A = this chain, B = another copy of it.
Amino acid sequence: MTYRAPLDDIVFALRLAAGEGAIEADGVYRDLADGVAEQTLAEAAKFAEQVLLPLDQIGDRVGATYANGAVTTPPGWREAYAQWQDGGWNAIAAGEDYGGLDLPALLNAGCTEIWNAANMAFAVCPLLGHGAIEAMEAHASDALKDVYLRRIVSGEWTATMNLTEPGAGSDLGLMRTRAERAPDGSYRLFGQKIFITYGEHDLAPNIVHLVLARLPDAPAGTRGISLFLAPKFLPDETGGFTRRNDVRCAGIEHKLGIHGSPTCTMIYGDEGGAVAYLLGEENKGLACMFTMMNNARLSVGLQGVALADRATQMALGYARERKQGRTPGAKETSAITEHPDVARMLLTMASSTAAARAICYETAAAIDRGHRESDPARAAAAHERASLLTPVAKAFSTDIANETTSLAVQVFGGMGYIEETGVAQLMRDARICAIYEGTNGIQAIDLVTRKIRGGDGVALAREIDDMRAIASEADVAREALRESVEALAQASAFLTTTELAGALAGATPYLRLFALARGATLLVKGAKRAQRDVDPNAARYAALARFFAENIALAAPGLAKSVIDGGASVNESHAALGE
């Protein structure tokens, strides 16, 4: 169960995504100049390797436990959380007004990857809390910010997002949790929420819940949902927080993975209603949530990158030591890395991880530029780009995490199936990433309906132009790159013109196609940059870029066919589904 934060690769991807000159004193990322990015990442790596990593396996084995409404985190986690808070790690990406450091999303992406690789079940707590921070920054009153946001940013308290109900998962319009107006301007909440990550725990003295609920006179569906803040402890007369609110944890789930992270069923209003405060306007709750959705989805994509990288590291480490069989011509038993079939697995893992990382960091840079570009047109374009790339970053990276962690088990062979070695845990932990924060199917539908069919097409055209430019200047695998980009262009054109059901049927292969073309071109761009800059990793980056283009991205034409020609066989196949 080892992990070394791949600082070289992270800094490289960060600088590539930031763009040339962006991290200079006069650039968009001037706050990362003078080694700030490198130093921060090195500190994050130290914390991850020394504090979080040693608690990862015990978190899996012992798990969070529930008794009488209280949740106990695994041994050592309280102490680690105290160190997390002391280190001020929670404040990195939060705004300055309430104690944040306001560092860019790009740097936060690097830290997020590192923390989640070391211990995803721990790191998911602040990760989801960051979404709450953003929602509060955008929509909470100053009074609420002063009391709650400040303490969440510092890490003194944690925050949760309460969306899902038993009957309302991907379809939030079916939500039934009820909010009533109280005479003092506050609200009372009644209902049940499920799958609430860290809804209850012992890491911090107070937990601030952001809750979606429906007012009695609200319109039906998603336009009748409001966003509320309901803390576990309310302020008392002396300014302390000792008054228990009417919200409790009714139990935690027994899950496939991330056992250290308590997944809670939360009951609001069993004893007269949970006191809550409105964020934003009534019935605009879903819009409020969307303001922070891009970042949260990107963060989950980064969890995918994190576990994919860790799985690759573990598999490589094992394969270098494990000796079985002889390669053609060898006189002694070979390390299994020498066997072409094992090398293929390892290259698939390493290059897919690199491609997913490149896409995620590119997305983070687009988010940053949406905020930081002084020219409004450039800022707007960057914002559009972030919207376009976000579902790709989330879904592709988490698919890659599933594939890569499973391949790691395969490289370990029989030892991979034994829990002791720890690779099976990575596979179990990773499996949630393709599901939460919008399933990967929802991401694909978002990409196809809102981003491809819904927009003016400018962001997509720009993206494809960029890929074409890289492909045309490529030194290696030029034809494979070109084919993947043209396949994307064809499939994109088809999706904008066909009827909706046909487009929806192609959503998942289209997202994959997009990611393969974008990933392959970014890796080739990076390899070229590394060669120019005489980067010590240049040979490795070139090999990964070539392998990805010639073995992974060449699925692109087939995927385009599936999008264009395969949709009918989906929508005309009800007989096969027994309907």
Known contacts A501-B327, A504-B339, A573 near B347 by CB under 8 Å: yes
Q: Does A360 contact B (CB under 8 A)?
A: no
The interface-forming segment of A167-175, A199-207, A286-294, A385-393 is A167-175
A residues within 8 Å of B by Cβ?
164, 168-171, 174, 194-195, 253-257, 316, 320, 324-325, 327-328, 333, 337, 339-347, 350-351, 402, 406, 409-410, 413-414, 416-420, 424, 427-428, 431-432, 434-436, 439-441, 444-445, 477, 500-501, 504-505, 507-509, 539-540, 542-544, 546-547, 550-551, 554-558, 561-562, 565-579
Known contacts A255-B417, A256-B419, A410-B441, A550 near B573 by CB under 8 Å: no
Q: Is the CB of A565 within 8 A of B550?
A: yes
Known contacts A333-B171, A410-B435, A551 near B576 by CB under 8 Å: no
Q: Is the CB of B543 within 8 A of A504?
A: no
Minimum CB–CB distance for A552 against chain B, Å = 8
Integer count of this chain's copies in the complex: 2
Minimum CB–CB distance for A125 against chain B, Å = 17
Minimum CB–CB distance for A383 against chain B, Å = 26
Of B256, B324, B542, which one neighbours A424 at CB under 8 angstroms?
Answer: B256
6 A-B residue pairs with CB within 8 Å = A256-B417, A341-B444, A347-B573, A417-B435, A543-B574, A554-B558
Q: Is the CB of A504 within 8 A of B341?
A: yes
Minimum CB–CB distance for A455 against chain B, Å = 19
Q: Is the CB of B417 within 8 A of A573?
A: no
Residue of chain B at shortest CB distance from A170: B324
* Docked CA distance A328–B448 (Å): 14
Of B164, B507, B579, which one neighbours A414 at CB under 8 angstroms?
Answer: B164
Known contacts A402-B406, A546-B573, A554-B562, A169 near B504 by CB under 8 Å: no
Q: Is the CB of B340 within 8 A of A543?
A: no
* Docked CA distance A477–B255 (Å): 41
Q: Is the CB of B551 within 8 A of A562?
A: yes
* Docked CA distance A351–B573 (Å): 11
Q: Is the CB of A340 within 8 A of B507?
A: yes
Interface centre among A327, A414, A568 (most CB of B within 10 A): A414
Residue of chain B at shortest CB distance from A328: B500
* Docked CA distance A10–B320 (Å): 44
* Docked CA distance A557–B547 (Å): 17
Q: Is the CB of A551 within 8 A of B577?
A: no
Known contacts A324-B169, A327-B501, A441 near B550 by CB under 8 Å: no
Of B257, B327, B345, B505, which one neighbours A343 at CB under 8 angstroms?
Answer: B505
Residue of chain B at shortest CB distance from A319: B577
